[in-house]
């Protein structure tokens, strides 16, 4: 088991979780339940071998990490997969409970198809990416990592009805995940991104009139649903600065959607969350 600190958290947790589940145990020497949990974690580390990474954070030593991850009680267990926290468990969990959670996120053959699909999407071949991920999901519907990524690609490809239907039929634990909540907000903004003007025209319109809230919301929504998250963050933040109440607080909802999609470990989230807090307060 690896001891984590602020210097190695990204490489040992975020990066490694792209290839395997990473279970992070937030603990302290004085915590009796933490000591009860330790032999269970050691057994899991032995049994799963290179299928699972277990890492520990001594909260008395790494107080910044504990604060950053909002640790309020010990032990707290966070499970990461695909660069995001996917599970949180409070207290000393039985071995059977931990195994049932971990095994949902173990590497599967369809994970290779997922990575290929995401690479295709990043390269601009969205239609092929969608087809590849549809095939993978049809062959391995038990892989919980596939449906949310497929729903996101559906949105980027303009297939919002398929995205909504796919999300609706997922089990409750998936529907209530942060990523799914972000995708539902994404669907909301997909509806706001319509109109006859293209993105270049909207950007030109904003250069002439930066106070045009409708044009900024439409452009930010297109950037959000199209996967241009950096530009969307800036435009939602600018809309919040200029007109925080426009369209029932659409700027704040857009930022929250982006935070959910990016995950709390993405450095952009902490930066823009601070900026949002400063504007609102």
187 within domain boundaries: no
Q: If you search the block for the tokens 């307060």, which residue do you land on?
A: 281
Which of 13, 14, 34, 167 does the annotation list as catalytic?
34
What is the number of domains present in the chain?
Answer: 3
133 within domain boundaries: yes
Task: Give catalytic status of residue 31 as yes or no.
Answer: yes
pLDDT digits (tens, 9 = 90+) for 160-215: 999 999 999 998 878 888 788 888 888 888 877 766 678 899 999 999 999 999 99
CB under 8 Å to 253, separation ≥6 — which residues?
185, 188
Angle between helices 32-48 and 95-102 (to 10 degrees): 50
178 within domain boundaries: no
90 and 116 in a single domain? The answer is no
Q: What is the mean pLDDT of the chain?
A: 92
Task: Give catalytic status of residue 220 as yes or no.
Answer: no
**pLDDT of amino acid 212:** 95
Cα 150 to Cα 198: distance, rounded to the nearest angstrom: 25
Cα 22 to Cα 115: distance, rounded to the nearest angstrom: 18
183 within domain boundaries: no
Cα 212 to Cα 209: distance, rounded to the nearest angstrom: 6
Query: Rounded to two decimals, what is the model's pTM?
Result: 0.62
Cα 150 to Cα 247: distance, rounded to the nearest angstrom: 29
72 and 13 in a single domain? The answer is yes
pLDDT above 70 for 68: yes
Which of 31, 38, 44, 174 does the annotation list as catalytic?
31
Range of 264's domain?
Answer: 192-280
Give, in degrees to the nearest 5, the angle at Cα 131 between 126 and 136. 125
């Amino acid at each position: 088991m690896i001891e984590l600190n602020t210097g190695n958290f990204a490489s040992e947790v975020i990066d490694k979780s792209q290839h395997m589940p990473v279970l992070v145990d937030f603990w302290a020497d004085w915590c009796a339940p933490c000591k009860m949990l330790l032999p269970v974690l050691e057994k899991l580390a032995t049994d799963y071998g290179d299928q699972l990474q277990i890492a520990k954070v001594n909260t008395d030593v790494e107080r910044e990490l504990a604060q950053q991850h909002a640790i309020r009680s010990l032990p707290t267990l966070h499970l990461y997969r695909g660069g995001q926290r996917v599970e949180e468990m409070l207290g000393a969990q039985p071995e059977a409970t931990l195994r049932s959670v971990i095994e949902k996120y173990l590497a599967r053959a369809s994970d290779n198809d997922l990575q290929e699909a995401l690479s295709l999407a990043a390269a601009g071949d969205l239609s092929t990416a969608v087809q590849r991920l549809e095939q993978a999901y049809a062959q391995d519907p038990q892989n919980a990592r596939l449906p949310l990524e497929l729903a996101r690609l559906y949105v980027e490809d303009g297939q919002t009805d398929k995205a909504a239907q796919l999300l609706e039929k997922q089990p409750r634990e998936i529907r209530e995940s942060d990523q799914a909540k972000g995708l539902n907000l994404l669907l909301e903004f997909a509806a706001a991104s319509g109109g006859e003007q293209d993105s270049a025209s909207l950007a030109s319109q904003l250069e002439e009139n930066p106070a045009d809230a409708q044009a900024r919301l439409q452009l930010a929504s297109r950037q959000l649903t199209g996967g241009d998250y950096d530009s969307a963050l800036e435009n939602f933040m600018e809309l919040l600065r200029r007109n925080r109440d426009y369209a029932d607080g659409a700027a704040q909802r857009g930022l929250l959607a982006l935070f959910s999609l990016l995950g709390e470990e993405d450095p952009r989230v902490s930066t823009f969350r601070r900026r949002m807090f400063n504007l609102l307060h």
